[in-house]
Amino acid sequence: MSKSVVGFVGLDEVSLELAASLVHSGYAVQAFETASHVMDGFSKLGGKKCANLMDTGKGVNALVILISHVDQINDLFYGDDGVLKGLPKDIVIIIHSTIFPAHIQKLGKSLAGNSLSYAYYLFFILHRDLETFAFICFSGLPICWFSADFPLDDYQMENVVDMYVLKAVSEVLKGKVMIISSGISESTTRARTFLSAMGEKLFVFEGDVGAGRCAFFLAVDADLHLLKSKMVIELLEGIHFVASLEAMSLGAQAGIHPWIIYDIISNAAGNSWKLPEIQVARMAGAAETSDEVLGYLTDLEGRSITKGTITALLPFSSVTIDLFPPDMSKITDRSTTKGYTRAAKPGVFKNYVPHLLRGNQSTNHLLNAFIQNLGIVLEMAKSLIFPLPLLAVAHQQILAGSSHGVKDDADAIFLKVWEKLCGVNIIDAANAKAYNPEEQASQLSTKSKTVKRVGFIGLGAMGFGMATHLLKSNFSVLGFDVYKPTLSRFESEGGFPGSSPAEVSKDVDVLVIMVTNEYQAESVLYGDNGAVAALPSGASIILSSTVSPAFVSQLERRLHNEQKNLKLVDAPVSGGVKRASEGTLTIMASGADEALEHAGSVLSALSEKLYIINGGCGAGSGVKMINQLLAGVHIASAAEAMAFGARLGLDTRLLFDVITNSAGTSWMFENRGPHMVENDYTPLSALDIFVKDLGIVSRECSSRRVPLHVSNVAHQLFLSGSAAGWGRIDDAAVVKVYETLTGVKVEGKPHASSKETVLRSLPSEWAMDPTEDIIKLTQKSLKTLVVLDDDPTGTQTVHDIDVLTEWSIKALSEQFSKRLKCFFILTNSRAMSSEKASALIREICSNLSAAAKTVVNTDYTVVLRGDSTLRGHFPEARTYAAVSVIGEMDAWIICPFFLQGGRYTIGDIHYVADSERLIPAGETEFAKDASFGYKSSNLREWVEEKTGGRISASSVASISIQLLRNGGPEAVCERLCSLKKGTTCIVNAASERDMAVFAAGMIQAELKGKSFLCRTAASFVSTRIGIIPKAPLVPSDLVKSRERAGGLIVVGSYVPKTTKQVEELLLQRGHSLKRIEVSVDKIAMTSIEEREEEINQTAEIADVYLRSGKDTLIMTSRLLVVGKTASESLEINSKVSSALVEIVRMITTRPRYILAKGGITSSDLATKALEAKRAKVVGQALAGVPLWQLGPESKHPGVPYIVFPGNVGDSKAVAEVVKRWTHPGRLSTKELLLNAEKGGYAVGAFNVYNLEGVEAVVSAAEEQRSPAILQIHPSALKQGGVPLVACCISAAEQATVPITVHFDHGSSKQELLEILELGFDSIMVDGSHLPFRENIAYTKYISVLAHTKNLMVEAELGRLSGTEDDLTVEDYEARLTDVNQANEFIDATGIDALAVCIGNVHGKYPASGPKLRLDLLKDLYGLSSKRGVHVVLHGASGLPKDIVEECIKLGVRKFNVNTEVRKAYMDSLVSSQKDLVHVMTSAKEAMKAVIAEKMHLFGSAGKAS
């Protein structure tokens, strides 16, 4: 098949880069461009040259049109040879333009043929002021609309989008192509695959336009979106700029060198660091010097730009600068008059501050730009009635600086103006002699004293990590915390817990204080059992809490007065919980030289970056205070920005992504922004901490007489949040202040796309199904596919495949010797730490290598099966470990496509289907996993994220859907063979056919000698070995007998999907399930005794429920308990999993089936609780839900084991499976007789009167594996009542063979009406005593009512003589069944079974024996069977064997038995028994013997299913 084709009308350097990306993704490209040197480069890419514009559009799927000047529009679109001539209307048109949006709008009017505002167009043309127009639009001011229709049928197009092409500035994507596009949903969906293939990062704004507006209106609509984003970014830049000035002012006043502050903050949480590269202008000509360059530069509206006033109007540019490289000629394209240049636009703290400190006068232009741009933003907020307190005060400070600068000295540099306003001297401080804090720290390490014992007070989130890292660094650590469970955890890590601050301070060399605030520090040092009194002379105290410099200075004086030579090190820390546990904190330490040297080894062990700050105790806290000033302001400004963006109507998820790639970002914005967008305020750092930290800033600025307006407003915002009750949740909750005041919601909706629309936009699938080829190629390659599965759910697409839970060389050799095409090894590595997982994979791969050598001609391919939602270890713990043993691969293949789970990879973005929507994986609940969370949905970026940047996104190769569907297996093979050795390659797929095409191509590449290591989801495995799917299995496919025990359902998974599924399970099946909830707090967070008690109690209760036949749900409490770090969360998960293992191991009852919910849970239960060493994957219980049968060595051999992944199925999925596998419902009496008809046997209906009779029937039936009917006569019901009926129904439900309950001889209408409500399975309507017509009417009336309740109806025609339960029919009253009447009777009444009278009697037959009319029976069966009516024979007691057998041959399917069983019961009472229990037992056994004999006689023994 031919490739998808993209045409380019006009080329420049950027277009060439886009074209190269398309070719790389498997597209064909063609272009028309007059510049020969550009076309030469295009040809080298493999592009096709077109002779004219019209040729460019021939055969394309998408057309990229470059418009670099307004004059080009007519020629391009409306000339005699314009590009739109003859172009199909459904082609995707992508406008790549840098001209003013008004011209785009005019073009759109022509293309769509719709009415647009003439006044709107004039506004642009006359004023050329996009910002003011945006303001008018956003403010809701009226615009006069004027109709100006154009007949443009020849040019009307259906799918038009625009795009801006930028170079991203984020740390991950810096310098890579970023595309921002907009259009209506249908158009952007169709264009997405092309846009994604052209750039590394795609942002799509969907325009909200009415049906009467043209598609091209979106060009302006996009600009409005981008302008809104631009305003939010300017808001952030303005606030960050003023906050930076405030931070430098406070630092200078505190005596801290400004360059020291700059160096430290640039690497800390207070930083805002971005340095974007943006396209700022179009060159109007060539130049030799920078002055000439500036003379020729024009802005994007065609206006001249003079030196020092370059205004970048593209998105993310807001400042006017003149910070050019020394030689501007190096960045000009001198070969064409339409070249492009890029200039660096400073970020905020990291990039503005150096210029300020150096006295760069260009900041005057920065000042003017801020005043203008921030003023526009504030006017917009005013029109929207939206408060921006931080921006307002920042704007006022910049205004104050501007007014002073102009009034006093037009040439004054900005920082001098600021100094004058604030009364500080930053420039002189910056020019003072500097020192290197890191170099001083390095010198300290050589002088540090040996420390043996360390006391540690405060084992909170940060403190616990710090203390445990000291343990790992071979320090002896004594720890104290007020929270006792934390002390227990600390002890389990190898620490020595203490009961008070004093106890952990005795005989220590160094004491570390890591408490929340100054009050707590005072308390642990000088309160009851305080540390100071217990410390030995000469000890050092490291105070790492965030406190004010004044507190530290005062504390040093107090310690000096103790006369114990106690030394103090002021050492606040920064870096977060994870870095605390890793010993990679940033520490800002100050103090006397002696104190620093004494505590140096501890400081070095805890830090990656250690700064020694001159100035004595308090200087370190001064730097931390400044960092917290910036960090607090950045969180508050992030809240203000995101709330304002929400008010502007922007998609906050998309806005966050855009800002992170702009100059408005900061460390705190990127860290806390997701909390706001996700509305997740799980306290990673409580809001009240910034109430405290900014409170310190407020006190210090007051005492030092430094006005800090922005910082104090930020403090007030945090105070407001605390006052509202949000102090203990995450500090990102400061955004709630804005939400509460204005009513906006910052929480972003997932970027969902219509699944149908997206899939429909893709090319047609490859025509030929490669499955047969795969099977042949697999046989030819003779390689065994060995799947290392990180949990058991990877078997969700295969059947008839072995799973091993052990990997000894012997076991693997046995498996290889079977010459199987595939087998799984269950590693459960996802439940392990990275280090343990690596060791495990190395061990398995080593054993595989050794085992393969023991079997002749054995070769194998390893696949690492992982989660389709991208959770789990990658790549360090698995891929690197495997490669270290089996050798370097030609490529790593990443393929998470999984159709049954709704996982699609399209345009390198991995999606999770939610009903009919596709949601990027990074925006789903799975991406928030406590242990394996991630942010990126684009798999290239995900690889970079997961490898910590070691593999860059740009180096990751891709197999596109276009290549799969247009090129087929051969193209895949060619692409794989062309990859550089060791390349990581992701696979796009949206169907099973796509997967098959890739698998076939990969096998071809392997046959050519290439080797690959795959990290895939489940779909790849089944496709790779050519498995043909089969329908989900049902219990009858596996379970051949009715087990009495209940099924066991164990739920350990905590993903929200599982919780919803459990809720639905309880809603649907709660009435029949027994539920036991296991407290996670007791099994994971408390004492060993409480844990064991909870486990034992759960197992005992579950055993009782299962034995009684009840399906039993064991579930962990649904409140998610997470650790402070990923490793801590894994530890909690491990404790929960091990508890479930112990519970299941202790259950002695063999369950009818086992359902384990969650990957880790199902793995641990199979291997540890059930001790399975191997199992057979027999199929699926539901699409994507594996069904195993446990091996013979397991605790419960052959028991069906349902492995239910945590991330599969909708909310009803678990309930659906449990419903299928729940205790099989009782067969109806009609079903029993249908089975008898098919099997040629009869079912006995045995009259019962008491518990002994019921037990005798059920016990005999179970022993003989026979169906049976418990039958209650009216006289028995009169004596036993409803309890007798309930006893029969309960016994039938608990039986392991089919048992039903029947009411016999219902001769009273009122009695039968009551019977219908008691739960019988069938009834006999006995109108035999009535005249024929009355019998019909009576039987029909009851039959209609009974059928509404699904009860089988039996009726009698004719009349039996004899006595039954004191009811006697004399011989003269008896009459045989009339065949003709029977025909009419059956048709008129609708009965299901006919009790016939053919000479049979109730009670005893005469001495001469029974005389049955078998010929009549034959005729009656003949007419009954044609109508689906079963024949019943009452009076089976006393019938000889030969007659019974003949009756069965002639169609009798139900025999009523009473007399012989009653007699056996009565006879048993004659024998003397010592106790009533013995009497009951004797009676039961006597009846059971008769019943068993009858079952053999009727042929039903062994027929139970």
Q: Beta 540-543 vs 510-513: how paired, if at all?
A: parallel
The C-alpha atoms of residue 555 and residue 552 are separated, in whole angstroms, by 5
CA neighbours closer than 13 Å in the CB half-sphere of residue 888: 5
Short-list 528, 535, 493, 491, CA closest to 511: 535
Q: Are 1271 and 1304 in contact (CB under 8 A)?
A: yes
Q: Provide the Cα torsion 54, 58, 64, 68; round to 10°.
A: -10
Do the Cβ atoms of 215 and 781 come closer than 8 Å?
no
Is the bond preceding 875 in cis, omega lying within 30 degrees of 0? Answer: yes
d(CA 274, CA 288): 30
DSSP string, 321-384: E----S-GGGGS-TT-TT-EEEEEPP-SHHHHHHHHHTT-TTHHHHHHHHHHHHHHHHHHHHHT
**In 3D, which of 629, 632, 624 has the Cα closest to residue 718?**
632
Q: How many CB atoms lie within 10 A of CB 75?
A: 13
- Spell 1100-1111 as b/e; 16+ CB within 10 A means b: ebbeebbeebbb
Q: Which residues contact 1104 (CB under 8 A, 6 or more apart)?
A: none
Alpha-carbon distance of 638 to 876, in angstroms, equals 34
Count of helix runs (H) and strand runs (E) in the chain: 56, 51
Strand partners, 110: none
Show the DSSP H helices in 1150-1250 as ranges. 1159-1164, 1213-1221, 1229-1239
Q: For residue 1108, what are its two tokens? A: 């009684």
Q: Are 250 and 700 in contact (CB under 8 A)?
A: yes
Give the active site residues.
624
Kindly list the strands in the beta sheet with 909-914, ordered across the sheet, starting from the edge strand earlier in the chain. 753-754, 917-920, 909-914, 903-906
Torsion of CA 724, 729, 731, 735, to 10 degrees: -50
- Give me the amino acid identity at 1099: A
Ramachandran area for residue 386 (φ above 0: left; ψ -120 to 50: alpha; else beta): beta
Q: How far apart are CA 939 and CA 573, in angstroms?
A: 35
Q: What is the SS3 string spanning 1258-1282?
A: HHHHHHHCCCEEEEECHHHHHHHHH
Q: Which helix (H) or strand (E) holds 891?
A: strand 891-895
Q: Answer yes or no: are the C-beta atoms of 590 and 651 closer than 8 Å.
A: no
Q: Of all helices (H) and strands (E), which one includes residue 230?
A: helix 217-253
Q: Rounded CA gap, 89 and 898, in Å?
A: 34
Length of the chain measured in residues: 1505
Q: Is 1318 exposed, middle or buried (0-12, 13-18, 19+ CB in 10 A)?
A: middle
In angstroms, the CA 1269 to CA 1298 distance is 9
3-state SS string for 248-263 = HHHHHHCCCCHHHHHH
Give the whole-angstrom CA distance, residue 478 versus residue 468: 10
Indicate the burial class of 888 (C-beta count within 10 angstroms; 0-12, 13-18, 19 or more).
Answer: exposed
